[in-house]
Chain A
Amino acid sequence: MRHLIDPMDLSVEEIEELLDLADDIIAHKEKYAKVCEGKKLATLFFEPSTRTRLSFEAAMMELGGNVLGFSSSDSSSSAKGESVADTVKVVSCYADIIAMRHPKEGAPLLASLKSDAPIINAGDGGHNHPTQTLTDLLTIRREKGKLSDVTVGFCGDLKFGRTVHSLIKALSRYENIRYIMISPVELEIPKYLREEVFEQKGISYEQVRTIDEVIDRLDILYMTRVQRERFFNEADYIRLKDTYILDMPKLKNAKEDLSILHPLPRVNEISVEVDDDPRACYFRQALNGKYVRMALIMKLLGIEKPE
Chain B
Amino acid sequence: MKIDSIQNGIVLDHITAGKAMLIYKYLGLDKLDCSVAIIQNATSHKMGRKDILKIDHADYDINLDILGYVDPGISVSFIKDGKTIEKKKVDLPERIVNVVKCKNPRCITTTEQGIQQIFKLADAQKRIYRCIYCETEDQGERISW
Contacts and interface: CB of A to CB of B under 8 A. Distances in A.
Interface of A: 83-85, 102-107, 109-110, 124-127, 192, 196
Instruction: Give the secondary structure class of A's interface.
Output: mixed
A104 B137 contact: no
B137 A105 contact: no
Given A110-B133, A196-B123, A103 B115 contact: no
A109 B115 CA distance: 12
Which among B108, B131, B132 has the highest number of chain A CB atoms within 10 Å?
A: B108
Contacts, number: 51
Contact of A127 (B109, B114, B135): B135
B53 to A, nearest CB: 34
A105 B123 contact: no
Contact of A105 (B108, B114, B122): B108
5 contacts: A104-B107, A105-B107, A105-B133, A106-B109, A106-B134
A30 B132 CA distance: 41
Contacts of A104: 106-108, 110-112
Given A127-B134, A127-B135, A196-B123, A103 B106 contact: yes
Contacts of B144: none
A106 B131 contact: yes
B135 to A, nearest CB: 7
Nearest to A78: B111
A179 to B, nearest CB: 21
A84 B107 CA distance: 13
Interface string B112-127: 1111000000110000
Nearest to A127: B134
B75 interface: no
A174 B122 CA distance: 22
Contact of B113 (A83, A125, A196): A83
B139 to A, nearest CB: 14
A153 B141 CA distance: 38
A19 to B, nearest CB: 25
A36 B131 CA distance: 36
A109 B113 contact: no
